[in-house]
Amino acid sequence: MDAFNALENRVGRLIEAYRQLKERVAALEQENERLRQASGSAQVAQLQQRVAALEGERSEVRTRLERLLGVIEDLGV
């Protein structure tokens, strides 16, 4: 009977450890998803800043090209 009680106790501890592990995995999955979303938001903001910078550069290049084309047109080439 003593061996049976010991086995029963071990099985009980194993079941409890499994439940705790399952809860921990669920918590880590939620945390992982939250971090992914936060990271995604940061990446979106970074990309938006990059697009704004590139649009500014494009506008500057367009202005310079229009000015150069105006000079070329004035030269009659």
pLDDT per residue as tens digits for the range 26-60? 999 999 888 888 777 778 888 899 999 999 999 99
Tokens read off for 57: 């550069």
- Would you say the pTM of this structure is higher than 0.85? no
CA 33 to chain centroid, in Å, comes to: 9
